[in-house]
């Protein structure tokens, strides 16, 4: 359970416009503000900047985190169209950490906090079990900063920690989307001959299930054919560096 400081509590202005998006969204993106904001006053200044200078309808992000206090703030919230990740807004939410993580360090506590928020939102039915990636994966930007971007796999491992009391099945036959593609790419990284017919197509079908079983068998895991927390963590070890780091 993550306590979230709602809009009223941080003194948000009313949005100019508000549109809804279907839940759960297939994608979840990580951002930083690239500034030095903190706390509720930081939330108000980010919102003012986005509405008054950028001319947007509201603060851009779905949820924001204070890098030091680790407080979680409601931005636009769940199920509301954001303005964070160009081209992906109607199918995603965004978590943004206040700070500039091209230069600021990222604490283990912050990594844990982001992971908690990811897991919380997944349990609420808002978004997938893991971050899809960082803003730079889909846009020419350094966001969310090198230091935070480099922790995404760790955040995702902690978000799906099999010690969690919740049912920890992450993905199974019939699922589709970027998270599926990420694990299919990892399967190819483990065994280049895997997924011979369909490759990393983002569809978790029978071929993917067969190769998840092969992977689990080869690693002495329970052979379920579903990507649970343990399988997810091991698979991510094989994910090739598939990201263009150029800004």
Closer to Zn ion by Cβ: residue 109 or 247 = 247
The least distance separating Zn ion from the CB of residue 143, rounded to whole angstroms, comes to: 3
Q: Name the one range near Zn ion by CB under 5 A: 43-51, 63-71, 142-150, 197-205.
A: 142-150
| Binding region for Zn ion (CB under 5 A) out of 36-44, 72-80, 136-144, 191-199 | 136-144
**Binding status of residue 50 toward Zn ion by CB under 5 A:** no
Q: How far is the CB of 117 from Zn ion (least distance, A)?
A: 16
**Binding piece for Zn ion, criterion CB under 5 A, among 46-54, 133-141, 160-168, 234-242:** 133-141
Per DSSP bridges, beta strands 72-74 and 169-171 are: unpaired
SS (H, E, C) the chain: CCCEECHHHHCCCCCCCCCECCCCCCEEEEEECCCCCCHHHHHHHHHHHHHHHCCCCCCCCCEEEECCCCCEEECCCCCECCCCCCCCHHHEEEEEEECCCCCCCCCHHHHHHHHHHHHHHHHCCCCCCCCCEEHHHCCCCCCCCHHHHCCHHHHHHHHCCCCCCCCCEEECCCCECHHHHHHHHHHHHHCCCCCCCCCCCCECCHHHHHHHHHHHHHCCCCCCCCEEHHHHHHHHCCCCCCCCCCC
Among 135, 151, 182, 188, binds Zn ion (CB under 5 A): 135
Is 136 a binder of Zn ion (CB under 5 A)? no
Which window, 58-66, 122-130, 131-139, 209-217, contacts Zn ion (CB under 5 A)?
131-139
Give the residue with the Cβ less far from Zn ion, 58 or 228.
58
Phi and psi dihedrals of 20, rounded to 5? Answer: -100, 160
According to CB under 5 A, which residues from 82 to 121 bind Zn ion? none
Among 143, 171, 179, 187, binds Zn ion (CB under 5 A): 143
Site for Zn ion in 25-44 (CB under 5 A): 31
Residue placing its CB nearer to Zn ion in the complex, 7 or 135:
135
Measured from the CB atom, is 118 or 186 closer to Zn ion? 118
């Amino acid at each position: 359970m993550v306590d979230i400081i709602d809009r009223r509590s941080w003194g948000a202005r009313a949005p100019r416009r508000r549109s809804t998006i279907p839940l759960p969204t297939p994608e979840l993106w990580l951002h930083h503000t690239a500034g030095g904001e903190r706390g509720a006053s930081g939330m108000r200044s980010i919102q003012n900047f986005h509405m008054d200078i950028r001319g947007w309808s509201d603060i851009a992000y779905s949820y924001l985190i204070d890098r030091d206090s680790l407080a979680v703030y409601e931005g636009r919230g769940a199920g509301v169209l954001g303005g964070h990740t160009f081209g992906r807004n109607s199918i995603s939410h965004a978590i943004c950490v206040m700070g500039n993580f091209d230069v600021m360090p990222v604490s283990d506590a912050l990594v844990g906090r982001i992971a908690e928020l990811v897991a919380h939102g997944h349990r609420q039915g808002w978004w997938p079990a893991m971050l899809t990636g960082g803003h730079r994966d889909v846009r020419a930007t350094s966001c969310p900063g090198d230091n935070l971007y480099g922790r995404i796999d760790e955040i995702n491992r902690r978000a799906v920690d099999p010690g969690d009391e919740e049912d920890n099945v992450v993905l199974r036959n019939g699922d589709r989307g970027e998270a599926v593609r990420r694990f299919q790419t990892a399967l190819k990284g483990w065994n280049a001959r895997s997924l011979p017919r369909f490759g990393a197509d983002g569809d978790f079908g029978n071929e993917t299930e067969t190769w998840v079983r092969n992977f689990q068998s080869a690693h002495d895991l329970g052979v379920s054919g579903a990507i649970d927390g343990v399988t997810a963590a091991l698979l991510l070890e094989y994910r090739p560096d598939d990201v263009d780091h150029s800004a």
